[in-house]
A = this chain, B = another copy of it.
Amino acid sequence: MGAEKHELFSDVGRLLVYGTDEPGIVAAITDILSAAGANIISLDQHTSDPDGGRFFQRTVFSMPHLSAELPALEDKLGEALKRFRLDHSLVDASKKKRIAVMASTSDHCVLDLLWRYRRGELPVDIAMVISNHTGLDEDVRSLGIPFFHTPTAGKPREEVEARQLELLKGNVDLVVLARYMQILTEDFIEGLGAPVINIHHSFLPAFIGAAPYRKAKERGVKLVGATAHYVTKDLDEGPIIAQDVIAVSHRDTAADLQRRGADVERRVLSSAVQAHCEDRVLRDGSATIVF
C-alpha cells in the first residue's frame, strides 16, 4: 500500500469502477482514458468470481490540464459505464480529502494522525477534531486545526449527535473515530452522508465489544491486535480495511497489553485512513478490496 508519489502531482486522476462483472469492461475504460489523452500510471483490477462475480478496478492516470478536462471525461465515462451498469468515482488526486477526527480521552491515535498530517504524509486536510472531552485541545489547536468540545456526560445522545452533525455535515469527506468511545446511532451515520472509519482495539472478530485487552489477558491469547473498519449500523461488524497484531506473553499485564496494543492501533488506523484517502478501498458487501 505504498503512497504513490506521482499521484500527488497535479494532473493525476484516480478512477474507481465497481459493479457486476461482464466481458469488455477493462478495455472500454482504458479506451476512453486513452482517447482522452490519459496515460495510465497504475491499474489494479479484481473480479470476485469470473462467472458473474463483482468487478473492481482502480486506475491512476496522468492527463494534461486534468482539472479542466475532468468534467468532459466524467461525461464520457458516465455514458460508457451506464451501458455496463457500473458505478464509478473519478477524482483529481491533488484534491485532498477533508476529514474530521473524533476522539475521547486516549491521545495516541489522534496524535499519530496529526503528526502524519503535519509531516505531509497523509493526503488529507484535517478540518476539525471533535471530542467529548477536553484535554486534546491544545495539541490540536497548536497545529491551527479547530477543536470542538461536544460533552456527552449527562446529555441525551440525540442532542449531542445533532450538535456534531451540525459541525460535520457538508464539511468533511470522511470521519475518523480515533478511539471515540461513544456508540454512534444509525441516524447519525445516515445523516452524515460520509463514510466513517473506526479503530477497534482487538483483532476482530475476537473480543468484540468493550474491554478487549482485559478479555485478551483473561483468555491468555499470545497475540493482541487492532482492526480499522468502516462503521455500519452493526457495531463492530463493518467492512474491515486493515488489521495487525503483535506477539505478547504471560509477562504482559492487561495494562501492558493496552500500552503495547496502542502502538498497533495507531499504525493500523493511520494506514486505513491513508488507504481510504488514496482511493484504494472499495467495499464488497461486508468485506473490502484494498488495492
Contacts and interface: CB of A to CB of B under 8 A. Distances in A.
A160 to B, nearest CB: 27
A284 B223 contact: no
A220 B287 contact: yes
A223 to B, nearest CB: 5
A33 B27 contact: yes
A250 B286 contact: no
A111 B115 contact: yes
B222 A240 contact: yes
Contacts of A39: 21-24, 50
A267 interface: yes
A2 B290 contact: no
Interface in A98-151: 107-108, 111, 115, 119, 121, 142
Given A205-B206, A205-B207, 9 more contacts: A23-B40, A30-B31, A44-B44, A107-B119, A204-B219, A205-B219, A219-B240, A250-B289, A263-B267
A256 interface: yes
Nearest to A121: B259
A3 B142 CA distance: 32
A6 B220 CA distance: 20
Given A23-B39, A205-B221, A206-B206, A46 B251 contact: yes
Contact of A47 (B41, B44, B243): B41
A185 interface: no
Contacts of A22: 39
A243 B223 contact: yes
A242 B259 contact: no
A137 to B, nearest CB: 14
A162 interface: no
A42 interface: yes
Interface of A: 1-6, 21-28, 30-31, 33-34, 37-50, 57, 62, 107-108, 111, 115, 119, 121, 142, 203-207, 217-223, 225, 239-245, 248-253, 255-256, 259-260, 263, 267, 284-290
A33 to B, nearest CB: 7
A108 B41 CA distance: 30
B5 A255 contact: yes
A126 B287 CA distance: 38
A254 to B, nearest CB: 9
B23 A34 contact: yes
A237 to B, nearest CB: 8
B50 A2 contact: no
A3 to B, nearest CB: 6
